[in-house]
Structure 1
Amino acid sequence: MQKRIAVIGGGIIGATAAFYLGYLDQTQSLSVTLFDDDLGQATKAASGIISPWLSKRRNKRWYTLAKEGASFYRKLVTDANLGTNVYQQTGTIVTRKDPNDLDSLFQEAEIKLRHTPAMRSVALLSSQDVGKRLPFLTNPPAGILVEGGAKIDGLRFVEALLDQAQKRHVEISRQRVFFDESGKLRTSKGLESFDKIIIATGAWMKGTLKPLNYLVKVRPQKGQLIDLTIKSKHYGSHLPVLMPESSSDIIPFEHDKLVVGATHENDGGFDLKPTSEARNRLLTNAKAFDQHLQMDQIDRVRVGTRAYTDDFAPFFGHLPDNPNILLGGGLGSSGLTTGPLIGYFLARAVVEGQLGVWDKYTKPISHYII
């Protein structure tokens, strides 16, 4: 008899977990259903960067998870047959305002490169060099090019993984489900029992686990991005990403689309309305590097809700007293880098029937869920 598996949440963790549950379950001993209602999902609103190596963050667990998460994309792209419209390794350019800080960062990059093959290579670029690589900019900054850096379209990523999951007999159910006090799920079919459940509901996890009397220490954070149309012979999807210090990332995509963002609004809660303040701030940030950008080039403002923990670190594992309910969350702004690896780990734990040793990536789950 097949074991019934539920995945709650179709964002970056849930979609990756659902795909790998189908991919790894070669004997088809599992019956997998993913439940998701799409509301406010951070992944689908995001376009992001996979380039964690020169981050200012000094959390060793986070860096280990992010570093291995960036490397994991090579396997994921192959396993899920992801196209360049989803994930593209075009390199990232990281900047620092102070030239001395930039030199120090380059020395750090050279050291990390020795034991981080995913970085591929690094180069110190003058502002003129950056201008050659991003010729549509009118005021390019000096920076460090990391050849292994990549960009990803969150919506296309999730859609591609769920499409592949369905081909591997994973059912996608577009609805919000709730626990009852006994641990069963209340669905459109009534109360249903599952052998194992993966919870990946992001900023909504507190509400997901409330019926089971757990307190989840996560908070919502509103993030907004803008999409602009760039009509220039110097523009193209092959261009690297610009990651300016203390400013908004600038991400060139195909079809003349430029993405700028994202905001980090701690008081935005679950509000999904775009704001003129965020739109104006993002455009101003981008105009510091391309003075030709205008308000009428903005096609849309995208809005999503991230989940943050008090120590800004992701978590994953199983409920303290229930190994059959696994979960991952608290991704914050690094979700596109860390989320897929977490989803993979959780799927493997279900398929292989045993939990991994994850203490080098995350604190005990009891630090975040009580």
Structure 2
Amino acid sequence: MQRRTYDVAVVGAGIVGSATAYHLARAGQRVVLVERSGVAAEASDAGAGMLTPLAEAGAGDLSDPLLRLGLAGLRHYQTLEAQLESETGMWAGLVHLPTLYPAFDDGQAEALRRDLAALQTLRPELGWLEADEVRQREPLLAPSVRGAILSPAEGNVAIGHLTRLLVRAAQLHGAELLIPRSALALLWDGVRVQGVLTEEGVIEAAHVVLATGAWSSAWHAQGERTAIVFPLKGQLLALRPSGQPLRHTIYAGPLGYLVPKADGSVFVGATSERRGFDKTPTAAGLAQLLAVVRRVVPALEEAAVERTWAGLRPVSADGLPFIGEAPSSPGLWLAVGHGRVGAITGPVTGFIIAELIQGRPVPYELDLRPFAPERLGAWRRRLTPLSAAGAGGRQLELFSQPATAAEAEAAAEEERRERP
């Protein structure tokens, strides 16, 4: 059986895993990135890429953990963009167009005005635009607009492109990409993680980072049936305007959003559907997205439809990601469950994990307690161990993940029988 040894093994090459691998490799760690299908193959190449943390400040709540993590993410992008472009000589994927938060009735306008003062304590550059100013800045918006918050620093990113660039930069710093390669099991020596087993052999590592997206429940002690992390389907639509371009990212609250991309297309999103792992676009989803266009930017109703698609957001049971080392399993790190805010929080999560693995303080003075990895239970499975010869002749344990729902149920039943 082939055996490889690294400082860190990262499982999953979406935006979170790729950022983790990049920051670790850049710091001189020996890193391997293990991916079963393709870089940015799932949610990281399906999202609209909005960098709008202020969208999480519902009713002006400045204590929201996702808001705080997103604001740190916005700061992190400033450094990350410059680093990547310097190291690779390539565009990092950021679109520096401002964001508008419009109101389409007097009640919405009043609510946004109330929130603005509090939000300006976090981002002083925010401003209020009256209806005439909004229409002047963004002529494509519906005439019924009553005003808007203007956020100059919140843009958007080509998230799939950025993910692939992070992997490229990580490789420039010495990281190894194993693809396609499935991580079949966690490797243990007593309590501490020692690596992962793949179909082509053992990967030994002092640290294992799970960045496994919507499939992460397979690694949780309670199994997939408890939906610790579940897929939330989001359908999107890409339009090609024939006239003047959209000048801002438009976040219209519960109505939806429109995101102008660097190539001139406009992404319209998004639905939120519990449909398991189905990613099929539907007529109902398309109708919902077209309603967003009609209500928010009716001038784009004549735009050409380029494509429709869907992705699977990895949403945690309580709506917050899991970030950090699992207390009951030293060496096992979680970076999963980022839901619909992966574009803004994914890269900074990778940086956080990299810093913590190196024994450094939590960056950006963040409080990670709301994101505690084991707040909903342990991530180590209690399954029958398989023997594997470890380094130095010691015996290691391989705790495998169930491949099917039936196996998950059988494992859960076995665990219930073992309980006193």
Same fold (TM over 0.5): yes
Q: 2:198 aligns with which of 177, 187, 199?
A: 187
Check the 8 A contact 1:181/1:212 in 2, yes or no: no
Q: 1:240 aligns with which of 235, 238, 248?
A: 248
> Could you say what secondary structure the match of 1:5 adopts?
strand
Query: 1:52-80, CA deviations, whole angstroms, 9 ceiling, x for partnerless residues?
Result: 22534446322221221222211111222
Query: 1:136-173, CA deviations, whole angstroms, 9 ceiling, x for partnerless residues?
Result: 34546231111111111111111111111111111122
Offset at residue 193 of structure 1 (A): 2.1
Does 2:93 match 1:86?
Answer: yes
After superposition, residues 1-370 of structure 1 pair within 5 angstroms as: 3-25=6-28, 29-38=29-38, 41-57=42-58, 58=61, 60-81=64-85, 86-114=93-121, 116=122, 119=123, 121-137=125-141, 139=143, 141=145, 142-175=147-180, 176-179=182-185, 182=188, 184-209=195-220, 217-232=228-243, 234-235=244-245, 239-266=247-274, 268-294=275-301, 297-350=304-357, 352-353=358-359, 356=362, 359-360=367-368, 362-370=370-378
Offset at residue 48 of structure 1 (A): 2.3
Query: 1:267-305, CA deviations, whole angstroms, 9 ceiling, x for partnerless residues?
Result: x11112111211121012112233344588211112211
Residue identity (%) = 22
Offset at residue 254 of structure 1 (A): 2.6
Which stretch shifts more, 286-295 or 328-337?
Answer: 286-295
Which stretch shifts more, 175-184 or 305-314?
Answer: 175-184
Offset at residue 84 of structure 1 (A): 6.0
Check the 8 A contact 2:10/2:31 in 1, yes or no: no
The structure with more radius of gyration: 2
Offset at residue 210 of structure 1 (A): 5.9
Which stretch shifts more, 281-290 or 147-156?
Answer: 281-290
> Could you say what secondary structure the match of 1:264 adopts?
coil
The aligned amino acid for 1:301 is T
Using the alignment, how far apart are the partners of 2:330 and 2:165 within structure 1?
30
Check the 8 A contact 1:24/1:348 in 2, yes or no: no
TM-score (norm 1): 0.86
Check the 8 A contact 1:209/1:215 in 2, yes or no: no
Offset at residue 201 of structure 1 (A): 0.6
Where does structure 2 lack aligned partners over 5 or more consecutive residues? 379-420
How many residue pairs get aligned? The number is: 359
Check the 8 A contact 2:99/2:251 in 1, yes or no: yes
Check the 8 A contact 2:271/2:285 in 1, yes or no: yes
Q: Quickly say closer, same or farther: Cα 1:227–1:16, change in 2 above 3 A.
A: same
Q: Quickly say closer, same or farther: Cα 1:72–1:361, change in 2 above 3 A.
A: farther
Using the alignment, how far apart are the partners of 2:326 and 2:128 within structure 1?
46
